Every structure is written in C-alpha cells, then in structure tokens.
Amino acid sequence: MKEIAKGIWKLTYQTPEKFTPCSMRKSKIAVEELEKIDLEVCQKLPFEEKEIILKTTKRGVTVSIPMQTEEDIYGFGLQLKSINYAGRKRHIKVNSDPTVDTGESHAPVPFYISTAGYGVFVDTYRYATFYMGTNSKKGASSSKKEVNQPHKEFSESALYSLKRAKEQRTVIIDIQGAEGVELYFFAGTVKQVVQRYNLFSGGGIIPPMWGLGIWYRVYGGSKEEDVKKLAEQFREEQIPMDVLGIEPGWHSHSYSCTYEWSSLFPNAQDMIDSLNQNGYHVNLWEHMFVYPAAPFYQKLKDYSGEYEVWNGLVPDFATKEAREIFSDWHRVQFVEKGIAGFKLDECDNSDFNPSNWSFPDTAEFPSGMDGEQMHNAVGILYQEVIAEAFEKQGIRTLSQVRSSGALASSQPFVLYSDLYNHKEFIRGIVTSSFSGLLWSPEVRDCVNETDLLRRIETVIFSPLALLNAWRIPNPPWKQVDINKNLENIWMEKQEYYTKQCRKLLELRMSFLPYLYSAFIEYQRKGIPPVRAMVMEYPDDLEVRTIDDQYFFGKDILVCPLTLEDGMSRKVYLPEGKWHEFFGTAVYEGKAWIEVSAKEEEIPLFVRENALIPLAKPVLHITKETVFEITVLQFGSGEAEFILYEDDFETLEYKQTGVKGIRIYRKENGVVEILDKAERYRFL
C-alpha cells in the first residue's frame, strides 16, 4: 500500500485491467489542494493492510475488509432507493430504471465511505458487487444456543426486515472478470473522505453562472416558431429563464440520431442567434447512437461497437478517432454556432424496461473494451467528448447527462432521470453528493398544482433548476394536466400559480451568487455544493439515515415537502441554534420539530452565525450582470462568507483564478465587505 497523496493510499493487486476509471482518466489528481485541506485530521485507516484480503478465483477478484457492526456506509454514486448500506448489497451496474434497491442506477460508483473513518474506491468498470457486512464468517455464531424463544410476528416484512447483527461482519467486494485490481483508500471523516475523493477525481467543476439559473425543456413537438414564441412569452411574463432545451425533434431523425437539424427547424441558425440575443442559452437533446443518415456515419463505422442500438452505430469513445469525429462535429456544427450545452440521453442501459435497449455486455469494441466495461464507462466518456468541444472554444458548459460514474466531479454535467418519485428525487440529491455527482430532481408531470409547487421548491435548491415540459406545449403553471395543456385549456387559477412559480424561480435567482461560491469550494476543497447532513454532523447518529433534508451551500439546511407530506413535516435540527430563513423563529438543535409549510413555501433553516449573500433576482444572466447583494445575518457571533467572482462563463479562471470577496462580521459587529467587487454591488 502506497500513499499517493495526503490521506490517500493505493493498493495494487496482481495485474489490473487495461480499461479502468484511473487508467482512462483525463483529469489530474488535485495534489496541491489535497495538501491544503484538513491538516488536523486523522491520516490513518482503521485497519491494517494485512487485514485486507485479496484473492483470485475463476470468477475474478474478491476483496475482504473487516467491518464493525456499528459502521454506517454511504456512497456508491446516485442511489434513489436508500441512503445507508450497512448490511446491504450494492451492485455497481449502470441501469436506466432501477425500480428496485440493488445499487444499480444511472450513476453507480464503486466507492463507499464508512463512518469508521475511511473510504474505498475500487478502480474498475466491471459490474462489481459490494456486500457491506451482509454476512459473518462461518463459526462466528457458534456460541449461540438459545432455543424455544417465542416467535413474535408473522408477516413477510417482519421476516425479511434488515436487522443489524452483533457478530463481526465482513465487507466483500466481488469484481467478476478481473485478474487484478487497484484499490484506493481514503482516510478521514465522512466529509473529509468525500473531499479527498473529489480532489482525487480532479476537484469539482465551476459551472457557468447561467447554468445555475432556470432551465426549461420545451415540448417535444415544438417547431422553430414555437420555441421562439415560448422564449418571448417568458420574457414578457417576467419568468426568470436562462436555458432552453430542445428535445429529439430537432434531429432530422432520432432514435437513433443524425445530429442535423430537421425540417421543423428550417432556419435553425436564425433561431439560435435570436435566442442568444434575447439572453437565452440553448441546449440540444441527443443520444450517442448514430443513425445511418448521420453525416459522419461512414467515418465512424470502424470505430463503433459490434451491435447496433435503435438501428444506430455505438461509437467507441475509447478510440481517439470516434472521440474526434464526435467532438469535432459538435464543436464546429453547434458550439461555434452558439449552442451552450447538450442533454446526453440513454447513455445508461436497460434491463428493467420492456424494450431492453442498448448493447449487450458481450459486445466487442475496437478499442478492446467489452460491453460491460463500456456500459459503466460510457457516461463519463461521452461527457468528456462533449466537454472537449467546449474546452477547445475556451468556454464553459453546464450540460445534462443520464449516466455517470467514477471520478466524475470535474465533468460539467448534471444527472437526471425518467423515474419520477418525488421522495426518491430528493434522496438523489442527498446520495449523489457522496460520490462527486450532481443531480437534478427535474420537474416534469405533476399530479396537481400543489405537486407542481412542491417539486419546484425542491429543484430550485438542487444543483440544476430544471423544468422539463417535453410533453406539454405550454408552461405547467398554465395547466398541469397534460391533455388539457395539449388543448391549450388553462387552469382556473393559472394567474395565481404563474405568480407563485415566478416567485420560487426568483428565489433561485437570488441564491445564484451564494451557490456559485459553494461551487468554488467544490472545485478547491472538494466540498459538494449540495450535500448530505451526515457530512456536516457525522457523529450525530440521528442524521445517519436522513435522506430528505440536506445542506445547500455553506449554511442552509433544506427540508422539502412532497405532495404526500401535505402541509407539514418532521425536521431534524442537529446540535446548535437554527434560524428560520423566511421567519424569525430560532430553534435549539439536537431535536426533531414539526414544521408547517404552505404549498408555496419550503422550510429552510440557517446555521447560527451564518452570513447569506442574497441577490436581487435577475431574469437571466448576461456577460454584464452585476448582482445587487443584500447580506442576511443570522446570530450575532463572528461570521464570514466569501463570494467569488470572475467572468462567470469562460475557462480563463484556469489561468487567472477566481477572486474572493470577503464578507466579514466581528462578534456583535457590523458586516464589512473586505474586498472590492466588480460583479457584485452591495446594498
């Protein structure tokens, strides 16, 4: 075991595979940043190297690590079904519709964090299985001899409920198909392990400021004129809006794709130009399966996989040729012409839905990768290909992707899903934060007006504030019912709901500088801008299973409600004083409280002695946007917040850095702005 950076060790076992996240990575380990953080914390793992047992069998490599019964386990990428994996299995297989809690997801990651003070990353694209203390070794229970104890409950759920056993357990990692492997161990608290993993992955991204604004995906049946009309309508109605996403219909053929404009968009460039002039950023839907009529089909054929998907080629993004063909086409045809980002659909896989699309695990690719590896890798590879088109132009993007995986923190992409349970979408915000992933709980179909508001309340406190109206030609605040929306029939109270939605979207816009600063911390320190409570309060046993409250930026605890919750919910406040953001009440923590919230309200709590810079909401971000900032104060102790500024959109910060503006308050003092700002004006 070799220490490769501060608090990070590598263990190499026999001959690792050729295609792994680390062997294929483009990002570099942020070694300097790793040196800077957490000088005071424990740099040791809670077990000896000799306790890690590695074996090779015909199936592959098996790793065993001792596990104590009190350890709680987090990570494994985006997980929509549960948060704490102590006593459970996780199967790291990318899958588009994981309707059951197996570990499969759009973005599973072979990385976990234990509350025992360590994390493990397994450098593999194989469908590894992690048994997180599901079993004890033979004989561990031999002293048990209780007999004739009465059975208490007779139900299936009682029989198979998860019980925490008292015997010494084992973490077993099953890496089928591998002959060797590299493991990375990270020391520290839950948060420190996450930081180290993110910096090991290259640090977090800095999004363009417009990417933090409001996103809207337009109706799938839209023509050019419809998009322009909608864009004008948003401005007229003073609805904040930064990004318009255009769905499959822009391709002259989709499922699979041509990457050329269809006859529905006869003057596409005019449309893009006019949208851009009007302050919009345009995002285009696509997937990677290349239809025979696509202009680069023939060129790509030799650099694509053995089987077709939806009649299209599957590019082998592990070859330089396929990367270049794809990336260059996107740069020249779209990025240079004003397109700001893409939505990369269906780069996951499907076992659970009827059509079982995508390529087989056995598929051979020219690079030498097989289908299994490609499935777990392609989300990341595809992101790199598209990101490169922007990097060459020197501009940032923030784009969408439906699959991601290991070492993702430096990819300018946010995950989304077709699945649609609101509680699970909130849980996704929490779980994705452990593994360098960003997740958007997009607003899509809504049962009713309350559901619409509740879902918007969640999405505005997530990494990406996305409304996806692909099934409806009019905004949901005019009509939530799909069929009526298609017939342009408005809801009775559409004016009222337009106003409430506008207010919530404005609330998002007012948090942009605050959130942008959180992203700078993500890049520099690896601290996720939106994150699980257990990262902040790792020793509070109460927070270890909380999957419906989370931190947004430095000091705000978000407690969303869903339609099912009605107008109130339970909230847990950890140690310390907590201030209502919208109200004036102050609570003493380490307590559960009942919180009421009208349909247009979301409970936010602020930590004692926090300064929250709030902007006057703008309708959209421009090159010249200067935010008018009011600093909200909570508590009366010493307090500090650093706002960051730069051009908010290019990659120049990589050379010049990002400037920090220090907002400071002494105990019982007034707030002072200690640096000069250009993009902020303090009120």
* Footprint of its own copies on 290-319 (CB under 8 A): 291-293, 297, 301, 304-309, 311-314
Position among 114, 254, 458, 474 found at the interface with its own copies (CB under 8 A):
254
Nearest-10 Cα torsion for 675, 678, 682, 683:
150
Position among 470, 514, 519, 578 found at the interface with its own copies (CB under 8 A):
470
Instruction: Please tell me whether residue 59 binds its own copies under the rule CB under 8 A.
Output: yes
Instruction: Please tell me whether residue 100 binds its own copies under the rule CB under 8 A.
Output: yes
- Packing angle between helix 224-236 and helix 268-277, nearest 10 degrees? 10
Position among 15, 267, 362, 488 found at the interface with its own copies (CB under 8 A):
362
Instruction: Please tell me whether residue 327 binds its own copies under the rule CB under 8 A.
Output: no
Q: Is 343 exposed, middle or buried (0-12, 13-18, 19+ CB in 10 A)?
A: buried
Q: Alpha-carbon distance 503 to 598, whole Å?
A: 14
Q: Name the segment binding its own copies (CB under 8 A); options: 246-254, 320-328, 547-555, 638-646.
A: 246-254
265 vs 653, beta carbon nearer its own copies: 265
State which of positions 11-40 bind its own copies (CB under 8 A).
none
* Interior angle at CA 440, CA 435 and CA 444, nearest 5: 150
Instruction: Please tell me whether residue 145 binds its own copies under the rule CB under 8 A.
Output: yes
Residues 60-99, mask of contacts with its own copies (x by CB under 8 A): x-x------------------------xxx-x-------x
Q: Name the segment binding its own copies (CB under 8 A); options: 53-61, 406-414, 577-585, 648-656.
A: 53-61
Q: Within a 10 A sphere around the Cβ of 48, how many other Cβ atoms?
A: 9
333 vs 625, beta carbon nearer its own copies: 333
State which of positions 399-428 bind its own copies (CB under 8 A).
418
Position among 47, 255, 587, 682 found at the interface with its own copies (CB under 8 A):
255
Least distance in Å: CB of 103 to its own copies? 9
50 vs 145, beta carbon nearer its own copies: 145
State which of positions 527-586 bind its own copies (CB under 8 A).
none
309 vs 389, beta carbon nearer its own copies: 309
- Residue 126 Cα to chain centre, angstroms: 22
Q: Alpha-carbon distance 268 to 12, whole Å?
A: 52
**Structure tokens given for 391:** 């990097």
Q: Alpha-carbon distance 185 to 196, whole Å?
A: 10
Q: Are residues 407 and 21 in contact, defined by beta-carbon separation less than 8 angstroms?
A: yes
CA contacts within 13 A on the Cβ side of 470: 16
Q: Within a 10 A sphere around the Cβ of 16, how many other Cβ atoms?
A: 19
Instruction: Please tell me whether residue 372 binds its own copies under the rule CB under 8 A.
Output: yes
304 vs 440, beta carbon nearer its own copies: 304
Instruction: Please tell me whether residue 219 binds its own copies under the rule CB under 8 A.
Output: yes
Tell me how many residues contact its own copies (CB under 8 A): 95
Q: Alpha-carbon distance 493 to 450, whole Å?
A: 12
Q: Are residues 462 and 118 in contact, defined by beta-carbon separation less than 8 angstroms?
A: no
Instruction: Please tell me whether residue 248 binds its own copies under the rule CB under 8 A.
Output: yes
Nearest Cα neighbor of 519 from 548, 487, 554 is 554
Instruction: Please tell me whether residue 162 binds its own copies under the rule CB under 8 A.
Output: yes
Least distance in Å: CB of 623 to its own copies? 35
- Residue 619 Cα to chain centre, angstroms: 25
Q: Name the segment binding its own copies (CB under 8 A); options: 169-177, 192-200, 331-339, 396-404.
A: 169-177
Q: At 549, give phi and psi (nearest 5°).
A: -140, 150
